[in-house]
Amino acid sequence: MIFKGVEKKEKNEINLKVEIEAAEFEAALQKAYTKNKGSLTVPGFRKGKAPRLVIEGMYGKNFFYEDAVNDLSLPAFDFAVAQEGLKTVGKPSCSDVDISDEKVVTLTFETALYPEATLGQYKGLEAPLEKPEIDEGFLANELERLQLRNSRLITVERAAAMGDIVTIDYLGTIDGVPFEGGKAEGFNLELGSGQFVPGFEDQVVGMKVDEERDLDVTFPEQYHEELAGKAAVFHVKVSEVKEREMPELDDEFAKDVSDFDTLDEYKKSILDAEQTRLDATAKQAFQDALLVKAIENMTVEIPDVMIDERQEEIVQDYARNLAMQGLQFDQYLGMMGMDYQAFYDTARPSAMRQVQTQILLAKVAEVEGITISDEAVEEEYNKMAEMYNVDLETVKKAVDEAGLRSDQIMKLAAEVVYADGIATEPVAKEEAETEEQKEETSAE
């Protein structure tokens, strides 16, 4: 193979040319013939026994060209990349194949280079740091949630009231005809939960055990297409009424649901945990803002393919997470009223920011001379083994060392940006809105 040169294009995209000599191409053609001859039917010959010249005479002299070129393409591309010491990104494409009469092949590849970034200021950057306070009603809401989780359901001999759980049988009809999904037996419904069509639960209030009643309802306009806006009648029979018995908020409750002896101690622990969470969120927002500023100060031309690949990864990761929850991606898109392309497009800004961050931190690590020792990698493996309660060798087989090393370097590079970050007072919401309006006006 002979490297014939590189042509630079926009956004770090390039064309690479490689020449393959006739003897090498001939060897690839013979390999393609050997691989395919058994599947070809040639009159007068048993399968696999027809000479190559006969096959080429019957199907054309270039019959094996495509297979031969495909076999040579990847080695040719790798040869060119190694020859020039290039760091490419994305999947290359063979954009042109030229085969001379002497069977000398010239391949042209389109690919992209990992972009060379020039850092601007990345230390001593300023960003606002929120000082979050716990919402006034947070503790009461949290305690109520815990009471609900630890409540008991008691069967009662009275008419159903809001907040009760009723067990019902029902059959829905439209113009006297039952419709799909409109029937159930032994269904538990919490009155006031808004689980059913508006007006349904209100009409169940006041019903007693064994009582039957026809409920008139109208489906909302924003409902399943076949039922939207239609009037229906539900015949309902109540078989049981239960009320929720809430535990008292006292020291005994605290002992039952926590490791604390008093309710006051437990309340303090809830507030402390929430403040810690809010502070961590504020700190993360501050650090993210520092990275954004460092990215804005960086000069780099990013190939589209890097963003495209990350965008695709984001979408696929999302689909896998949905599948783990038992929901198909197509179902989710239908529920959201989106098609694949619309969802794919929403991932673009996030993909862009992730790629920018990766490039920034890789450059910071290079400039700062950040490396990870073998001992530090081993320590990280041990932490993961302990966290997931599996043996060390299993973790090492599952987690690629190069990826682990890269992740750790990125974290250390980020710490360099964070370390000298200067926290400023957050801009009041009203001021931020005014500034945004000014920017919009000036843009117009």
> What integer best gives the mean pLDDT of the chain?
91
Q: Which 3 state secondary structure label does DSSP give 260?
A: coil
pLDDT, position 75? 93
Q: Please indicate, yes or no, if residue 276 is contained in any of the structural domains.
A: no
Q: Could you give the angle at the alpha carbon of 194 between the alpha carbons of 190 and 196, nearest 5°? A: 85
Strands (E), 100-246: 105-113, 126-128, 152-155, 165-174, 177-190, 212-218, 231-245
- Give residue-wise pLDDT tens across range 21-48: 999 999 999 999 999 888 888 888 888 8
285 and 396 assigned to the same domain: yes
pLDDT, residue 264, reads 96
For residue 143, being part of any structural domain is answered with: no
CA distance 288 to 293: 9
The pLDDT of 377-383, averaged and rounded, is 92
CA 127/CA 426 separation, integer angstroms: 8
Domain that holds residue 397: 281-443
Write phi, then psi, for 327 (nearest 5 degrees): -120, 125
Tell me, yes or no, whether 418 and 323 share the same domain: yes
What is the pLDDT, as a whole number, of residue 431? 59
108-133 residue pLDDT tens: 999 999 999 999 999 999 999 999 99
User: In this model, does residue 440 exceed pLDDT 70?
Assistant: no
Q: Residue 147: inside a domain, yes or no?
A: no
| Domain-located, residue 256 | no
Q: pLDDT class for 172, splitting at 50, 70, 90? A: very high
Indicate whether 125 belongs to any domain: no
**93 shares its domain with 196:** no
Domain at 78, CATH number: 3.30.70.1050
Number of domains in the chain: 3
CATH number at residue 162: 3.10.50.40
Q: What CATH number does residue 339 fall under?
A: 1.10.3120.10
68-96: average pLDDT: 91
Instruction: Clarify whether residues 381 and 303 are in a common domain.
Output: yes
Percent of the chain exceeding pLDDT 90 equals 72
In the prediction, which pLDDT does 327 show? 85
Calculate mean pLDDT across residues 170-182. 92
- What contacts 31, CB < 8 A, 6 or more positions away? 68, 71
pLDDT 10s digits, 410-420 = 999 999 999 99
Q: pLDDT-based confidence at 430, cuts 50/70/90? A: low
Q: Are residues 288 and 384 in the same domain?
A: yes
pLDDT tens per residue across span 211-243 = 999 999 999 888 877 888 899 999 999 999 999
Query: Structure pTM?
Result: 0.74
Query: Residues 227, 299: one domain?
Result: no
Which pLDDT value is given to residue 434?
A: 57
List, in order, residues 6 or more apart from 344 with CB less than 8 Å away.
311, 315
Tell me if 142 is assigned to some domain: no
